[in-house]
Amino acid sequence: MPITVGTDSANTRRTLSVGGKDFAYYSIDAAEKAGLGDFGRLPAALKVVLENMLRFEDGKTVTQDDIRAFSDWAANGGRNPREIAYRPARVLMQDFTGVPAVVDLAAMRDAMVALGGDPEKINPLNPVDLVIDHSVMVDEFGNPRAFQMNVAREYERNGERYEFLKWGQGAFNNFRVVPPGTGICHQVNLEYLGQTVWTDSDQSGAEVAYPDTLVGTDSHTTMINGLGVLGWGVGGIEAEAAMLGQPISMLIPEVVGFRLDGALREGMTATDLVLRVTQMLREHKVVGKFVEFYGDGLANLPLADRATIANMAPEYGATCGFFPIDEETLRYLRTSGRTEERIALVEAYARQNGFWRDASYDPVYTSTLSLDMTTVEPAISGPKRPQDRVLLSEAAPEFHRVVEQHRNDVGYRSEVRWEGEGGAPEPEHVPGEHEGNNGKDRWVAVEGEDFRLHDGSVVIAAITSCTNTSNPYVMIGAGLVARKANALGLTRKPWVKTSLAPGSQVVSDYLQAAGLQDDLDALGFNLVGYGCTTCIGNSGPLPENISKAVNDADLVACSVLSGNRNFEGRVNPDVRANYLASPPLVVAYAIAGDMNIDITTQPLGQDMNGDDVFLKDIWPSQKEIAELVEKTVTRESFRSKYADVFKGDEVWQQVETDDALTYGWPSSSTYVQNPPYFEGMGPDAGTIEDVNGARVLALLGDSVTTDHISPAGSFKPETPAGQYLMDRQVAQREFNSYGSRRGNHQVMMRGTFANIRIRNEMLDGVEGGYTKGPDGSQMPIYDAAMAYAEQGTPLVVIAGKEYGTGSSRDWAAKGTALLGVKAVIAESFERIHRSNLVGMGVIPLEFTGGDSRQSLKLTGDETFDITGLAGGLKPLADVPCTITYADGTSKDITLKCRVDTAVEVEYVENGGVLHYVLRSLAKSA
C-alpha cells in the first residue's frame, strides 16, 4: 500500500540519485531556502520529526506554521511546545501487547458491521510487525532438554492465542507475524526489520526515501534509536490508532543533549555505563523529553552498546534516547546483513539531508549533561527500581540495609529460624537468632537437600532480556567468565535457577562458533528459549522445595538478571529483591549464590586445589572479548538466520486457522474474548461529564508502575482471576500468566491492581490487590469495583509521583476503565500511561499548589466531586474539585486536567481513541 504524502505547498521535494536509482525526498535545506526557518542546528532526532512535517504538510493536519515552529524551537533555546501531528512509518508489536491490539481490531470490525459499514475498512494503513517473544516460560532449566521442553509447553499453553494471531495475519492487510522461537522483538527490529532510511512508493508512484520511524507497543521499542531510527513505545490503543492512519498528537519535545567523552576502562561493560546514564538522566528529569547522545566518546561506543543505552530510555524516563547516523551505523548495517544498496542510500540520504554526525556536529539542545566514560564503575541496580544504581563494591552492605528495612516494615511472619555464623551453616546448628558476620543471619533448611537458604540467597540468575542479550560484547564476556570458572572447577550454587534466553538466534550462532555455549551449559546456563522470559516475569516456578523454604521463613530471596526491569512482584512471586546486572556478573552471582558476599573482595568459591577464586581471576579482558566478537559475529550468520524469518518452525506451520473477515470468538476460549468497549456505541460522540460522588478505589504512593496496576506474571487460584479460570475448569497448571491472558478482558479486569506487592494505603500493612468495599470491609479490588458498579458509584484512584512508570502496558489503562474508574488523581504521570488513560476515556488529573494525598490527609474514605469537565473542556485546564471527608467536612482544591491536546479532548468525548477512529472510519465510508 503506497504512502500518502502531503501537498508540499512549500515545494521542498527533491531528487536523490544513489547507485543509478532516483529517490524523491523532502529536503530540510529546501525548506530553509523557501523561507520556512533556520533548521541547521536542530538535533538530528528533531530533524526526523521536522522531515515528517515536510512530507505530510497539507495545510490542514500539518501546516507551514508547524514547520516554522521548529525554527522557533532552536531560536528559543530548545523550547516550543507546539502541538503537531506526527505519522510514524510503521508499528512494532510483541505478543503480550499485540494480542489485545489485534483483539481490538477484530472487535472494531464487528462494530463496523453493527454501524452499517464495511469491515475491511478496519485494516492497518501502516506496516505492522508482531514478534512473538513474550510467551516462553522457564519451566525447564539447567539441562540440554530445556529449550525443547519449554517450546513444547509454550505451544501447549498458547495454542488459542497463536491460532488467533495467525488468523489476524491472514485477515488484515499490512500485518506480519514473526513466529515464536525467532528472538526478542527489539533485537529482531535492530538486526533485521529496521532500515535507518525507509523507502516506499507514494500515491504518484514515485519511490520516496525518508527516515525510518516507528512506534511500538513495548516501551523498549526505543532500542532501535541506537541505529539512528526514531522510535518509542506507546500503548496498544495509541498504536492501533497509528496503524489505522491516525496521526500521533504530540508536543514538539525538548531535547536533552548527553555528551559522552572518553572510553570505558578495562573491565567495564555497557551495563555499567547504562546504569550510570540511567541514574544521571533520572536525576536530570527527562520525562516526556527526547535525549540525544553526542560527543567524541561515540567513536568508542559500538552500536551494540548504543542500543543498550537506547533500550533503557523508559528506565531513565525519556521518550527516546537517540544516536545520530554515523560511520558506526553503516558498519553495523553491513555486519548485520543489510544490502549494500540500502547502506549506500542511508549514507547518501543522511549526508544530503543533514542527519549525518561527524566531528563538526554541534546542535542546539534544551539542556545538556555530560559523562566521561573513564569514570564509570562496576555496578548493579536494585532491589526494585532500575534507576537505583549501586556500586558493585557496595552491593553487599546495601543489601543488608534492604533486609533491615524490610524487617522493620513487615517484621517476621514465621517462627522458623536457624542459627549460623555468617558463613555456610553446619548441620548441628539449632533454631534461634544470632548476630553473624553480616548482621542478623537467618538460615532455613531445604527439604531433601544438604544446603540451607537465608536472606540474600540468589535463587534466580538469568541472562535474559532485550537489553543485554542483544550485545555480543557482554554475551561473549559472560561466556568467557563461564569458561574461566569451569577451568578452575567452580560451579553454580545448587539453589540457583539459571537460564539463558538470547535475544535472537544469531546470539546462539556466535556463542556456538566461539565454543562458549558448552562453557555456559556446564554452569547451568543452558538455552531455555528465545524470548523475554525472566525479565517480563516468565521466570517459571522455583523448585518446590526452594519455594517452600523461602516462603515458610519469609526470606528476602534474590534474583540477578541481565534485564531492564526489576519492579516489585515482577520477576517471581517468591523473590523480593531483584538486581539488574551485566551477563558476566549474572554468571558470577550464580557461582557466589549470595548477595551478602562482596564479590569485589571476597572469594566466589574455591578451585580444585581448595584455593580461593576471586572475580578478577575469571574476568576476561577487553582484548579477549573483542577478538572473539570480531571472529564470530559475522554478516553470514545474520543473513542465514533471517532468510526465512516469517516462516517459523514446523509446529508454527501446522497451526490451523480460517480466512474469515471477522473473527469467530469461540465462546469456550479463556484466552480470546470479544471486549465490551463498543457495545451499544452509536454513530456520534457524546460529551464529557463531571464526576460526582466518586469513591476511592485505591490510595497509592509514589512510583506506582504499570506492573503494579496490571501485572504480567503468574497468579494463584485464590485470586479473582484464578477463581474465574477455576470456575471454567482451567487447572492451575494451565493458568499461564496475566500477560498471556491479555486477549480476555474478564481475566484482565480481575487482575487490575492485583500485583502481590502493591500497597493500598487505605489498608494498614496489607500487600496485594485489596481495598475497602462499600461496606468498609477489606476485599479484592475487583470485587469492590463490581459492588460499587452495582450501586452506580463512580470511582477514582489517588496516587503520588510518577504514576504509571514502566511498561507501555495498555491493560493498565483498559483495566482501570473497565473497573469503573473515571479519573486518576496523581502528583505526576509517566508519559505513556497518561496517554493510555486518555485513550480509554479515563481522565488523568494532577494535584496543584503543593497538594498531595499526604497534605490533604486522605484516607480513602472521602468522596470526590470534580467539576469543570463538562461543557467544553480545554486542554490542560484547571478544574475544581471538592473533597468531602468521612466526618462531613469538605475542602476545595484545584486539579490540572492532563488531557493535553485538542485531539485528546475529542478522544475523551468519544469514550476513547478507538471509538473516535471507528466513528471517523464509519462516517468516511
DSSP string, 507-572: HHHHHHHTTHHHHHHHTT--B--SS-GGGGT---PPPHHHHHHHHHTT---EEEESSS---TTTS-
Type of residue found at 617: D
- pLDDT of the residue at 411: 64
pLDDT of 417-440, one tens digit each? 333 333 444 333 333 333 333 444
Q: At what angle do helices 505-513 and 622-632 cross, to 10 degrees?
A: 110
- pLDDT of the residue at 386: 86
Give just the sign of the alpha carbon dihedral 853, 858, 863, 867: negative
Among 85, 112, 146, identify where a domain stops.
85
Backbone angles phi and psi of 756, in degrees to 5: -65, -15
Among 85, 119, 149, identify where a domain stops.
85
Please say whether the beta carbons of 791 and 766 come within 8 A. no
Residue 586 sits in the same domain as residue 548:
yes
**What is the SS3 assignment for 478-495?**
HHHHHHHHHHCCCCCCCC
Helix (H, G, I), strand (E, B) or coil at 770: strand
Type of residue found at 712: A
pLDDT category of residue 240 using cuts at 50, 70 and 90: confident
pLDDT of 308-353, one tens digit each? 999 999 999 999 999 999 999 999 999 999 999 999 999 999 999 9
Residue 492 maps to a domain:
yes
Percent of the chain at pLDDT above 70? 96
Cell numbers for 298: 561515540
- pLDDT of the residue at 430: 32
Residue 826 sits in the same domain as residue 785:
yes
Residue 725 sits in the same domain as residue 823:
no
Residue 217 maps to a domain:
no
Q: Which domain holds residue 764?
A: 691-708+760-924
- pLDDT of the residue at 298: 98
Please say whether the beta carbons of 68 and 194 come within 8 A. no
Residue 55 maps to a domain:
yes
The rounded mean pLDDT for the chain is: 92
Give the integer Cα–Cα distance in Å for 669 and 157: 12
Residue 307 maps to a domain:
no
pLDDT category of residue 925 using cuts at 50, 70 and 90: low
- pLDDT of the residue at 908: 95
Residue 467 sits in the same domain as residue 495:
yes
CATH assignment of the domain containing 398 = 3.30.499.10
- pLDDT of the residue at 536: 82
Task: Give, in order, the Cα–Cα distances in Å from 375 to each of 260, 507, 616, 800, 845.
Answer: 11, 30, 19, 34, 41
Task: Give, in order, the Cα–Cα distances in Å from 860 to each of 32, 308, 821, 853.
Answer: 56, 41, 14, 9
Residue 622 sits in the same domain as residue 719:
no
Give just the sign of the alpha carbon dihedral 447, 448, 452, 455: negative
- pLDDT of the residue at 782: 98
Residue 3 maps to a domain:
no
Give the integer Cα–Cα distance in Å for 50 and 80: 13
Give the integer Cα–Cα distance in Å for 249 and 834: 13
Cell numbers for 801: 509521583
- pLDDT of the residue at 433: 39
pLDDT category of residue 880 using cuts at 50, 70 and 90: very high
Type of residue found at 386: P
Give the integer Cα–Cα distance in Å for 583 and 473: 10
Strand order from edge to edge, sheet including 90-94: 175-178, 128-131, 90-94, 213-216, 230-233
Percent of the chain at pLDDT above 90? 80
Residue 734 sits in the same domain as residue 827:
no
Distance of CA 464 to the CA centre of its chain: 14
Element (H, E) at 165: helix 146-171
Across 566-592, b (16+ Cβ under 10 Å) vs e yields bbbbbbbbbbbbbbbbbbbbbbbbbbb
Helix (H, G, I), strand (E, B) or coil at 213: strand
pLDDT top residue among 411 and 63: 63
Residue 800 sits in the same domain as residue 816:
yes
- pLDDT of the residue at 96: 86
Residue 615 sits in the same domain as residue 715:
no
* Distance in Å from the first CA to the final CA of the chain: 19
The structural domain count of the chain equals 4
Residue 558 maps to a domain:
yes
Task: Note if the bond before 794 is cis, omega within 30 degrees.
Answer: no
pLDDT category of residue 714 using cuts at 50, 70 and 90: confident
pLDDT of 747-788, one tens digit each? 999 999 999 989 999 999 899 999 999 999 999 999 999 999
Strand partners, 695: 795, 863
Task: Give, in order, the Cα–Cα distances in Å from 849 to each of 1, 533, 827, 834, 873.
Answer: 51, 43, 10, 20, 21
pLDDT category of residue 692 using cuts at 50, 70 and 90: very high
What is the pLDDT averaged over residues 682-692? 92
pLDDT of 864-876, one tens digit each? 999 999 988 999 9
What is the pLDDT averaged over residues 511-520? 97
pLDDT of 343-396, one tens digit each? 999 999 999 999 999 999 999 999 999 999 999 999 999 999 888 999 999 999
- pLDDT of the residue at 412: 55
**What is the SS3 assignment for 613-638?**
ECHHHHCCCHHHHHHHHHHHCCHHHH
pLDDT top residue among 779 and 235: 779
Cα Rg, the chain, nearest whole Å: 27
pLDDT of 785-833, one tens digit each? 999 999 999 999 999 999 999 877 889 999 999 999 999 999 999 888 9
Of 406, 661, 663, nearest to 558 by C-alpha is: 406
CATH assignment of the domain containing 909 = 3.20.19.10
Counting every residue written for the chain, the total comes to 925
Type of residue found at 125: L
Residue 885 has pLDDT above 90, yes or no: yes
Sequence-separated (6 or more) residues with CB below 8 Å from residue 220: 186, 233, 311, 312, 313, 314, 466, 467, 564
Residue 818 sits in the same domain as residue 912:
yes
What is the pLDDT averaged over residues 660-670? 92
pLDDT of 719-742, one tens digit each? 999 999 999 999 998 998 898 899
Residue 720 sits in the same domain as residue 612:
no
pLDDT category of residue 670 using cuts at 50, 70 and 90: very high
Cell numbers for 622: 577487553
pLDDT top residue among 652 and 921: 652
Among 39, 55, 85, identify where a domain stops.
85
What is the pLDDT averaged over residues 641-662? 92
Angle at 226 between CA 706 and CA 625, to 5 degrees: 105
Residue 698 sits in the same domain as residue 715:
no
pLDDT of 518-541, one tens digit each? 999 999 999 999 999 888 888 999
pLDDT of 108-161, one tens digit each? 999 999 988 899 889 998 999 999 998 899 999 999 999 999 999 999 989 999
Residue 162 maps to a domain:
no
Residue 190 maps to a domain:
no
Cell numbers for 144: 540440554
Residue 414 has pLDDT above 80, yes or no: no
Q: Which DSSP symbol is given to 774?
A: T
Residue 410 has pLDDT above 90, yes or no: no
Q: Which DSSP symbol is given to 497?
A: E
Residue 704 sits in the same domain as residue 720:
no
Q: What is the DSSP string of 168-185?
A: HHHHSTTEEEEPTTSB-H
Residue 853: left (phi > 0), alpha (psi -120 to 50), or beta?
alpha
Give just the sign of the alpha carbon dihedral 307, 309, 311, 313: negative
Across 754-791, b (16+ Cβ under 10 Å) vs e yields bbbbbbbbbbeeebbbbbbbeeeeebbbbebbbebeee
Please say whether the beta carbons of 231 and 225 come within 8 A. yes
